[in-house]
Amino acid sequence: MDMMLAGKTALVTGSGSGIGQTIACAFAREGAAVVVNDITEERVAGTIALIGQAGGRAMPAICDIGSLDAVNAAVASLADQGLSPDILVNNAAVLLASAPFLETRPEDCEREIRVILHGTLNCMRAVLPGMIGRRWGKVVNIVSDAARGGQEREANYSAAKGGVLAFTKSMAREVGRHNINVNAVSPAATDTPLRQALLRKMAERIGEQAVQEREEKTRRAYPLKRIGTPEDVSNAVLFLASDAARHITGQVLSVNGGYTMIG
């Protein structure tokens, strides 16, 4: 299906690896110019290289989205190149601790909220004026089932994602009059480098065999009996960013193998 994204410019935050990288590459395959954001030049360059090898067009936006000044500077630099994002995917996130809330460090909590929630707000502040001026825009926020149903040992992360979820619905009400759609995609467990790193840390604590048993138990909890992939998420994002979803806004699309079925 042609998503009719050729000629559009898509800014994908946190697209130096994992789900964000997969989303960025998917937009490029559809003919969109992709703005690759991450905090390190190495990560950004890696994604741009992948897109270039596939014949796509990409440009860097290296900045910490937790800083509004940094985001504004990145968007201004794009404007100098004649580019203004038509599509914004707020994907960047950090999960610094998997532990009971009282055992987490306040500074880690603040960092997770700054990147996940404040980063989303910062990017919207920087990008929305251009969308409003053109009377066309698509925003897709990556949230989490942890925000919708709660998740022990990830209270800070869940709270930050819950803020993004509420912000999604509020902004959909505010900017719909400007022909801008704001939606969210909510994955459950997804096989990303971040998740693999957490599993390795867990194996150091409880042993490899225990982790494997835990993973099998996790798969059994899903009606589809599988862990999601980044491609599962990117497919949903492409749909919501296309005019095939022009009459959908303020919604949360679960990409979770049926793990939670929240009405």
AA identity, residue 82: G
**135 and 36 within one domain:** yes
Can you tell me the distance from the alpha carbon of 11 to that of 81, in angstroms, rounded to the nearest whole number? Answer: 14
Residues 119-133 have pLDDT tens digits of 999 999 999 999 999
222 given a catalytic annotation: no
Indicate the pTM of the whole model.
Answer: 0.94
**85 and 46 within one domain:** yes
AA identity, residue 262: I
**36 and 81 within one domain:** yes
Percentage of the chain lying above the pLDDT 90 cut = 84
Give the model's confidence band at 105: pLDDT under 50 very low, under 70 low, under 90 confident, else very high. very high
Full DSSP string of 141-176 = EE--HHHHH--TT-HHHHHHHHHHHHHHHHHHHHHG
Residue 1 has pLDDT above 70, yes or no: no
**183 and 160 within one domain:** yes
Cβ atoms < 10 Å from Cβ of 216: 9
Domain enclosing residue 218, as ranges: 191-227
Selecting among 26, 116, 157, 186, the annotated active-site residue is 157
Q: Is residue 182 part of a domain?
A: yes
Residue 80 has pLDDT above 80, yes or no: yes
DSSP state of 189: S
**149 and 50 within one domain:** yes
Q: What is the CATH number of the domain that holds 50?
A: 3.40.50.720
Give the model's confidence band at 259: pLDDT under 50 very low, under 70 low, under 90 confident, else very high. confident
Mention every residue, 6+ apart, whose C-beta is less than 8 A from residue 18.
Answer: 192, 193, 194, 230
Residue 60 has pLDDT above 90, yes or no: yes
Residues 188-226 have pLDDT tens digits of 989 988 788 888 988 999 999 999 998 999 899 899 999
